[in-house]
Structures are given as structure tokens and as C-alpha cells.
Amino acid sequence: MERTFLMVKPDGVERGLIGQVINRIENRGFHMVAIKMLRISQELAEEQYAEHAGKPFFHEMLSFMTSGPVVAMVWEGPGVIQSVRRLMGATDPAQAEPGTIRGDMGTSISRNVVHGSDSRAAAEREINLFFNDSELPG
Ligand code: CDP
Ligand code: MG
């Protein structure tokens, strides 16, 4: 069964959008199999976003991602990785289609409410960064 990693970023938590994000993915028929609220450390943020190290927005993004609590989740279902990416919409809310999470709720490219894995390899890596085996169903 396919799994993906989804996070409500600090802007989404601060603005009270956790429930709406969860609703949209549940409505699509997927199942949440793990969830936790946490404050990300600098080290964890650097690891999560390692592919972006050195980019102009990297430093500011890390300081935002560590600025307040986030909600980390694992979702399961057929095709869930790409389906969740489609439900999220484009990275920049100004470009994201209406009806997507970012298109409806995002306020800027850096305040775009959610993070979601973009491939099977990323999903496995990110799930294991945030959850122990004992926190995940077999
Ligand atoms: O999140 P997504 O996979 O759609 O986009 P990304 O290209 O992997 O970028 C990761 C995150 O970096 C984005 O979600 C933005 O929050 C942030 N970012 C930014 O702050 N400024 C940019 N010019 C590009 C990305
Ligand atoms: Mg990405």
C-alpha cells in the first residue's frame, strides 16, 4: 500500500487550517495512519529540505519552518503520493488552481500551508525522518 508524508506548515497551524487540510484528503478517500504536532529543530529542517541547500530562499525557509509548531502526517491509499500533490496545488499559491489547498488557502510561495512528498523515494525518506517504526502501522 502506498504511503506519503504530509505536513501542515507553521502558517497553516497558526491560521487554524489543520482540519480543512485533513478534510480534503479524507474526502478524497485516503486514510491517515499517523499524526503528530511538533516543533521542528534546525537540524531536522535542514535534513527535510536538503535538496534545496544553497538556494536563495533556503535560509529564510528554514527559519520559517522552525518558527512554530507543524503537524506531520502519514497518509495511505492507492496513488496517494501524486493525488496529495494534486490536492496541494502548485508551490506558489498565485499559480495554484482554485480548489487546491494552496490555491484556496496559501498566501505566498513561502507561506503555502502544506508540504507533501513528491515521489516514492521522498515519501519513504520523509516518513522515516518524522516517525519511528513503532508509530506506524505494520
Ligand atoms: O513544496 P513544493 O515541493 O511544491 O516546492 P519546492 O520547489 O520543493 O520548494 C520547497 C518549499 O520551499 C516550498 O514549498 C516553499 O515553501 C519554499 N520556497 C520558497 O520559500 N521560495 C521559493 N522561491 C521557492 C520555494
Ligand atoms: Mg518539493
Residue 55: give its domain's CATH number: 3.30.70.141
Within-domain flag for 119:
yes
- How many whole angstroms from 138 Cα to the centroid of ligand 2? 27
Q: Between the CA of residue 49 and those of 4, 28, 80, 135, what are the distances in Å?
A: 16, 27, 21, 22
Residue ranges making up the domain that contains 51: 3-132
Within-domain flag for 26:
yes
Within-domain flag for 118:
yes
Within-domain flag for 138:
no
How many folded domains does the chain comprise? 1
pLDDT band at 45, cuts 50/70/90? Answer: very high
Report yes or no on whether pTM surpasses 0.85.
Answer: yes
- The strand pairing partners of 46, in sequence order, are none
| 115 close to ligand 1 (CB < 6 Angstrom) | yes
What's the per-residue H, E or C state across 47-111? Answer: HHCHHHCCCCCHHHHHHHHCCCCEEEEEEECCCHHHHHHHHHCCCCCCCCCCCCHHHHHCCECCE
pLDDT at 138: 84
**Residues 96/102, Cβ–Cβ less than 8 Å:** yes
pLDDT band at 50, cuts 50/70/90? Answer: very high
- How many whole angstroms from 52 Cα to the centroid of ligand 1? 9
Grid coordinates representing 48? Answer: 527535510
| Nearest residue (CA) to ligand 1, atom 14 | 91
Within-domain flag for 137:
no
115 is known as an active-site residue: yes
Q: Is the pLDDT of residue 25 over 90?
A: yes
Q: What is the pLDDT of residues 81-99, one digit of tens each?
A: 999 999 999 999 999 999 9
Q: Is the pLDDT of residue 127 over 90?
A: yes
Q: Give the phi and the psi of residue 91 in degrees, each rounded to 5.
A: -55, -45
pLDDT band at 122, cuts 50/70/90? Answer: very high
Listed residue (118, 117, 90) closest to 104, CA to CA: 90
